[in-house]
A and B are shown apart, each in its own frame.
Chain A
Amino acid sequence: MPGLGTSFGRGAATTFQEDLQNSDCILIMGSNMAEAHPVGFRFVMKARENGAKIMHVDPHFSRTSAMCNEYVPIRTGTDIAFLGGIIHYILENDRWFKEYVLAYTNAATIINGDYTDAEELGGVFNGLQREERRYDQKVAAWNYAGEPKQPKNQTDQAIKAQSFSERLGHLENPVPPQDPTLQDPMCVFQILKRHYARYLAEKVAEICGCSQQQFLSVAESLCANSGRERTSAIVYAVGWTQHTTGVQIIRAAGIVQLLLGNMGRPGGGIMAMRGHASIQGSTDIPTLYDILPGYIPQPATMRDHGTLKDYLKQEEVSTGYWANLPKFMVSLLKAWYGEAAKKENDHGFGWVPRIDANYSQLPAFLRMAQGKVKGLFLFGQNPAAGAPNAKLNRKALMQLDWLVVRDWFEIESASFWYKGPEKPDPKAIKTEIFFLPAASNAEKDGSFTNTQRLLQWHDKAVDPPGDCRSDAWFVFQLGKRLKKLYAESQQKRDQGLLNLTWDYDHDRMQELPDGSLSKIIGEPDMEKILKEINGYTVKEGKHVAGFSELKDDGSTACGCWIYSGVFPEPGRNRARSRKRDAQNPTSPDWGFAWPHNRRMMYNRASADPEGKPWSERKKYMWWDEAAKRWTGVDTPDFEPDKPPSYRATNESRGMDAISGDAPFIMKPDGRAWLFAPMGTKDGPLPTHYEPMESPVPNLLYPEQASPLAEVFKDDLNQLAMAMDPEYPIVGTTYRLTEHYLSGPMSRFNSWLNELQPEMFVELSPELAQQRGITHGGWMVIWNKRAAIEARAMVTGRVQSLTVNGRTLHQIGIPFHWGFAGETVGSMANDLTSMVADPNVSMHEAKAFTCNVRAGRVGDADVADKFSAWPTRAKSPDTPESDQPEGQAI
Chain B
Amino acid sequence: MSNVLEVFARPEPPPAKQEMGFFTDTSLCIGCKACEVACKQWNQLPADGLEWTGHSYDNTVMLSDTTWRHVAFVEQFDSKGAGRWLMMSDVCKHCRQAPCQEACPTGSIIYNEFGNVYVQQDICNGCGYCVAACPFGVLDRNEEDGRAHKCTLCYDRQKDDMEPACAKACPTDSILFGPISEMKQHAEKRVEQLHARGETDAYIYGAERAGEYSELNSIFLLKDKPQAYNLPEAPRRPAAHMKKSYAFSFGAAIFLGAMSALLLSGDE
Q: What residues make up the interface of A, taking CB atoms closer than 8 Å to B?
A: 34-35, 38-39, 41-42, 45, 49, 61, 63, 65-67, 73, 736-738, 750-758, 760, 764-765, 775-776, 791, 793, 795-799, 822-823, 884-889
* B144 interface residue (CB < 8 Å to A): yes
Partner among B30, B34, B77 whose Cβ is within 8 Å of the Cβ of A63: B30
- Chain A positions within 8 Å of B43 at CB level: 886
Alpha-carbon distance between A29 and B172 when the two chains are bound, in angstroms: 20
Is there an interface contact between B59 and A751, defined as CB atoms closer than 8 Å?
no
* B32 interface residue (CB < 8 Å to A): yes
- Chain B positions within 8 Å of A737 at CB level: 31-33
Partner among B46, B83, B144 whose Cβ is within 8 Å of the Cβ of A750: B46
Given contacts A63-B30, A754-B47, A796-B78, contact A889 B145 (CB under 8 A): yes
* B10 interface residue (CB < 8 Å to A): no
Question: In chain B, what residue has the closest Cβ to A62?
Answer: B85
Partner among B144, B171, B173 whose Cβ is within 8 Å of the Cβ of A889: B144
Is there an interface contact between B79 and A888, defined as CB atoms closer than 8 Å?
no
Alpha-carbon distance between A791 and B52 when the two chains are bound, in angstroms: 9
Query: Would you list the 10 A-B pairs with minimal beta carbon distance, nearest first?
Result: A796-B77, A886-B44, A799-B81, A750-B47, A758-B52, A757-B50, A66-B85, A776-B54, A754-B47, A38-B32
Is there an interface contact between B77 and A888, defined as CB atoms closer than 8 Å?
no
Distance between B61 CB and nearest chain A CB, rounded to angstroms: 10
Is there an interface contact between B40 and A41, defined as CB atoms closer than 8 Å?
no
Pairs A–B under 8 Å by Cβ, sample size 13: A38-B172, A49-B28, A61-B81, A63-B32, A751-B37, A754-B50, A756-B52, A775-B54, A795-B77, A796-B81, A887-B46, A888-B46, A889-B45
Contact with A along B38-62 (1 / 0, CB 8 A): 0011011111111110101101100
* B75 interface residue (CB < 8 Å to A): yes
Alpha-carbon distance between A755 and B60 when the two chains are bound, in angstroms: 6
Question: In chain B, what residue has the closest Cβ to A752?
Answer: B37
Alpha-carbon distance between A325 and B44 when the two chains are bound, in angstroms: 54
Is there an interface contact between A45 and B33, defined as CB atoms closer than 8 Å?
no
Given contacts A42-B171, A756-B57, A796-B81, contact A889 B66 (CB under 8 A): yes
Is there an interface contact between B30 and A41, defined as CB atoms closer than 8 Å?
yes
* B90 interface residue (CB < 8 Å to A): no
- Chain A positions within 8 Å of B142 at CB level: 888-889
- Chain B positions within 8 Å of A63 at CB level: 30-32, 57, 85, 87
- Chain B positions within 8 Å of A49 at CB level: 28
* Total residues of chain B contacting the partner, CB 8 A: 44
**Chain A binding surface SS class:** loop
Given contacts A888-B46, A888-B144, contact A797 B85 (CB under 8 A): yes
Alpha-carbon distance between A244 and B120 when the two chains are bound, in angstroms: 61
Is there an interface contact between A791 and B145, defined as CB atoms closer than 8 Å?
no
* B84 interface residue (CB < 8 Å to A): yes
Alpha-carbon distance between A660 and B51 when the two chains are bound, in angstroms: 63
- Chain A positions within 8 Å of B48 at CB level: 754
* B149 interface residue (CB < 8 Å to A): yes
Is there an interface contact between B77 and A755, defined as CB atoms closer than 8 Å?
no
Q: Known pairs A737-B33, A754-B47, A757-B52; list 10 more (Cβ under 8 Å).
A: A34-B30, A66-B84, A66-B87, A750-B46, A753-B50, A757-B51, A757-B59, A795-B77, A797-B77, A888-B46
Is there an interface contact between A799 and B80, defined as CB atoms closer than 8 Å?
yes
Question: In chain B, what residue has the closest Cβ to A41?
Answer: B30
- Chain B positions within 8 Å of A66 at CB level: 30-31, 84-85, 87
Is there an interface contact between B33 and A738, defined as CB atoms closer than 8 Å?
yes
Residue among B36, B41, B60, B171 with max Cβ neighbours from chain A (10 Å): B171
- Chain B positions within 8 Å of A886 at CB level: 40-41, 43-46
Alpha-carbon distance between A793 and B79 when the two chains are bound, in angstroms: 16
Is there an interface contact between A38 and B85, defined as CB atoms closer than 8 Å?
no
Is there an interface contact between B45 and A795, defined as CB atoms closer than 8 Å?
no
Is there an interface contact between A754 and B60, defined as CB atoms closer than 8 Å?
yes
Alpha-carbon distance between A45 and B171 when the two chains are bound, in angstroms: 10
Alpha-carbon distance between A275 and B124 when the two chains are bound, in angstroms: 48
Is there an interface contact between B59 and A755, defined as CB atoms closer than 8 Å?
yes
Question: In chain A, what residue has the closest Cβ to B81?
Answer: A799
- Chain B positions within 8 Å of A889 at CB level: 44-46, 65-66, 142, 144-145, 149
Partner among B30, B52, B83, B144 whose Cβ is within 8 Å of the Cβ of A38: B30
Is there an interface contact between A791 and B54, defined as CB atoms closer than 8 Å?
yes
Given contacts A66-B85, A765-B79, contact A736 B57 (CB under 8 A): yes
- Chain A positions within 8 Å of B172 at CB level: 38, 41-42, 45
Alpha-carbon distance between A774 and B49 when the two chains are bound, in angstroms: 24
Is there an interface contact between B52 and A796, defined as CB atoms closer than 8 Å?
no
Is there an interface contact between A35 and B32, defined as CB atoms closer than 8 Å?
yes
